[in-house]
Amino acid sequence: MRTSIVLSRCCMLGCLLTMPGLRAQPAVPAEPFHDGLRGTTPLDEEAKPPLIFPTENKDVIRGRAYAQQPPTIPHKIDGYQVDKNANRCLSCHARSRAAENDAVPIGVTHYANRAGETLGYVSPRRYFCTQCHVPQADAKPLVSNTFTDIEDIRVAPGPKPPATRKN
């Protein structure tokens, strides 16, 4: 008896949902939708990729765009092998070779493991340089940036706090 009641209610619900006037119609936006990354290219078409800016090779170290930003690479690294078998960056930037190559040595934090213990070699978690460091290109920033490094902030002397009296 209960089974037949449940089945009849399911059939009634199915009939109601298939009636043309009772289903919700999909909303069509007034203006066509444009994805911020794809622009106006329709989804079924391939977007034309933007031009890639050439890598600078000036060996000029740029300032940082935000606190704790890894330094950018001021020279070309095309063809450098950085994988589990070799790391071309270490041939110049390892602390033992930096002076003879007139290169910036990698930071001492790269020689510490997760526990903070100093190792005699580059830590495996810091071995793949291009995970954090990127080559420089003279490209227009995509968004504006108002970051000021802590060394550049000058605090103007303000009024002295009022003296407190001891009773």
- Dihedral sign of CA atoms 156, 70, 54, 89 in order: positive
Q: What is the DSSP letter of 73?
A: B
Percent of the chain with pLDDT over 70: 77
Q: What is the DSSP letter of 152?
A: G
Burial of 129 from C-beta contacts in 10 A (0-12 / 13-18 / 19+):
buried
Residues contacting 147, CB < 8 A, separation 6+: 64, 65, 66, 67
Whether the pTM exceeds 0.85: the reply is no
With contact defined as beta carbons under 8 Å apart, do 72 and 62 qualify? Answer: yes
Asked if residue 69 has pLDDT above 70, the reply is yes
Under 8 Å between Cβ of 128 and 82:
yes
CA distance 3 to 110: 69
Residue 56: pLDDT over 70: yes
Taking only the tens place, the pLDDT of each residue in 1-46 is 677 776 677 677 666 566 655 566 667 767 766 676 777 887 788 8
Q: Domains of the chain (ranges plus CATH)?
A: 77-138 (1.10.1130.10)
- How many residues are recorded in the chain? 167
